[in-house]
Structure 1
Amino acid sequence: MSSFTRTQCFSLATLLLLLTTNLHIADAQIGVCYGMMGNNLPSANEVVALYKSNNIRRMRLYDPNQAALQALRDSGIELILGVPNSDLQSLATNADNARNWVQRNVLNFWPSVRIKYIAVGNEVSPVGGAPTQWMAQYVLPATQNIYQAIRAQGLHDQIKVTTAIDTTLIGNSYPPSQGSFRSDVRSYLDPFIGYLVYAGAPLLVNVYPYFSHIGNPRDVSLSYALFTSPNIVAQDGQYGYQNLFDAMLDAVHAAIDNTKIGYVEVVVSESGWPSDGGSATSYDNARIYLDNLIRHVGRGTPRRPNKPTETYIFAMFDEN
């Protein structure tokens, strides 16, 4: 979500609903992010009804909004429940705070709210003068404290506790098989990957071909980013890449594998294309990207063939 402290407009609910209605979204591993940083949004009850009427079976929520959690009771919608970055320090430094957080936001709603993942922080980066840099030290201990509170209730097999990163933590992404994390984030990420292996939890990653395209339009064509390239664009040994989404995702898979710590699944916790406000932004490009993304993620990637990629579209509503 913090990717969008930019000017682009990243959502068109009508477009999304048009696509999801046509494509039986439940078959396609697709969820939709429910961000609330906007004006005149519908009530939580109306939003949950919107998801249900359009057969959207997964939601990402960025904080434990109590009205949204109440509205999700008995909806059957699977949930990524976010821990805001602003809560990381208090949850990391005091296990009682984590237990209280779990009681208030998880146990009070479980199992009528189908919480699948708890995302402890979003796009926290330990480097580069990032505004979240000071928070990075708290991500793993906060995650472990939440995990222990979940485990104490015997729910650690049903509710997986993790974090969401962005792809700026990848140092090398081409070719995808040589994907690796930046050397200056390894001391942050390696222990977290070790925790994920132990807990059997996936890593959540926000994946945006849009930003790769506008950052280097000469080498990253629009068709490659929009899934519309007619041919393979990048050949990487036995793997051929016809779209940038697969290449970015497989670079993450390879970066995890190349740490040699252990196998970790990847869930795409955000992806989308802006409809307005910047280079290569249009309603048509947003429609083409989302349409192709929804159709594509059930197929897996060259590195993980036939393994559907659980993916969450950003976002149901335009943010301010």
Structure 2
Amino acid sequence: MFLKKSTAMSSILLLVGMLSSITVAQSIGVCYGVLGNNLPSRQEVVDLYKTNGIGRMRIYYPDEEALQALRGSGIELIMDVAKETLQSMTDPNAATDWVNKYVTAYSQDVNFKYIAVGNEIHPNTNEAQYILSAMTNIQNAISSANLQIKVSTAIDSTFIAPPSYPPNDAVFTSDAEPYVKPIIDFLVRNEAPLLANVYPYFAYANDQQNSIPLAYALFTQQGNNDAGYQNLFDAMLDSIYAAVEKVGASNLQIVVSESGWPSEGGGTGASIDNAGTYNANLISHASGGSGTPKRPGGSIETYLFAMFDENQKQDAETERHFGLFRPDKSPKYQLNFN
């Protein structure tokens, strides 16, 4: 029995709408840090992602218990190479062994999307010398295994000067450019995105001149500023795009591999209300299809930091309070990831 033309067309439009909704929903991921002694099991965490419709995850080392729990989940995964093993990845054989053990062995039923070779490795640190070689070796091993997984690295806003205003003037710092330019060339050749950790919270909290309004950082400002921006997130992200353009990579995509706001810890603006406002508005903005002024239209692939508070982190107190959920898996505030 054939559908009437109008009914068939309605069905097609409905399907297209459903597929568009799925694509938009998948623009939001959540980073899964495990530096806590009170956190749920890996399987409980994966189930929590699924229950809340969170379709993307980032883990910071090859956590085999998490990889086992992710089997068959469909969750897209960023997996980092642990900082402690970066040097060893400069050996092609070691990189191949790493890929075989942690990627190929799980690739049939774990949905790897990116391998992050280094997280916020700064140009003046010892590990910086290993990044490009490690990226190359891991990409070669992945290609040899016929896997469609992109290799990248994650930078932060300290690579950029000025960091957010006006965005079009931004460049890589004199220290960062010679380090990051060959990495960007590698990403362009391999059609892989640059990962960037974008934190309006830290820009706001560290603003000694008090020139950044809280509303601008929380996406609640009405109207644009003189540079044409309504929120700090877009300004920071477009600063990176501007710097990338100036080293000849105007078509490079940037994935926001971390962004979040602390709910407590004594830092300026750290409160549960501000954290809830920031994260809810970020989800809406990133998945809303408006893009940024420099990259209008389309969703912004973004990973919120982080799933839980991590009470064993060694940094400032606020660093231990970025979680969206409590250890008992109850939400700190209501977020709609879909």
| TM superposition score normalised by structure 1 | 0.87
Which structure is larger by alpha-carbon Rg, 1 or 2? Answer: 2
Higher relative contact order (CA 8 A, sep 6+): 1
User: C-alpha offsets along residues 50-94 of structure 1, whole Å, 9 cap, x if unaligned?
Assistant: 0001110000011110000000000000000110111110101x1
Deviations 1:243-276 (A, max 9, x none): 0000000000111011124521000000000010
User: How far apart in 2 are the matches of 1:107 and 1:25?
Assistant: 26
One of 119, 138, 156 as aligned partner of 1:146: 138
Letter in 1 for 2:194: L
Q: Identity of paired residues, percent?
A: 52
1:45 paired residue among 27, 33, 43: 43
Unpaired stretches in structure 1, ≥5 consecutive residues: 1-22, 128-132
Q: Structure 1's 26 and 305: CA in aligned 2 closer, same or farther, altered over 3 A?
A: closer
Is the CA contact (8 Å cut-off) linking 2:62 and 2:80 kept in structure 1?
Answer: yes
Determine the C-alpha separation between the residues in 1 that align with 2:234 and 2:107. Answer: 34
Q: Which amino acid aligns with 2:211?
A: D
Among 63, 82, 89, the residue aligned to 1:65: 63
Does 1:87 find its partner at 2:85? Answer: yes
Q: Tell me, yes or no, if the aligned pair for 1:26 and 1:56 is still in contact at 8 Å.
A: no
In structure 2, list runs of 5 or more residues that go unmatched: 1-20, 312-338
- Which residue of the partner structure matches residue 171 of structure 2? 180
Q: How big is the shift at 1:281?
A: 0.7
What code does the residue aligned with 2:188 have? V
Measure, in 2, the Cα distance between the counterparts of 1:261 and 1:253: 9
Shift of 1:101: 0.3
What are the superposed Cα offsets for residues 169-192 of structure 1, whole Å, 9 maximum, x if unpaired? 112232111111001111110000
Match of 2:153 in 1: 163
2:283 is aligned with 1:305:
no
Go from structure 1 to structure 2 and tell me whether the alpha carbon gap of 1:301 and 1:28 turns closer, same or farther (over 3 Å shift).
farther
Q: 1:182 to 1:25 in 2, by over 3 A?
A: same
Indicate yes or no: 2:313 matched with 1:315. no
In the other structure, the counterpart of 1:275 is 263
Contact 2:28-2:54 at 8 Å conserved across structures: yes
> Aligned pair count?
286
SS in 2 for 1:270: strand
The match for 1:113 is 110
| Correspondent of 1:253 among 233, 241, 244 | 241
Q: Which consecutive aligned stretches of 4+ in structure 1 deviate over 3 angstroms post-superposition? A: 23-26
Question: Residue 28 of structure 2 aligns with which residue?
Answer: 30
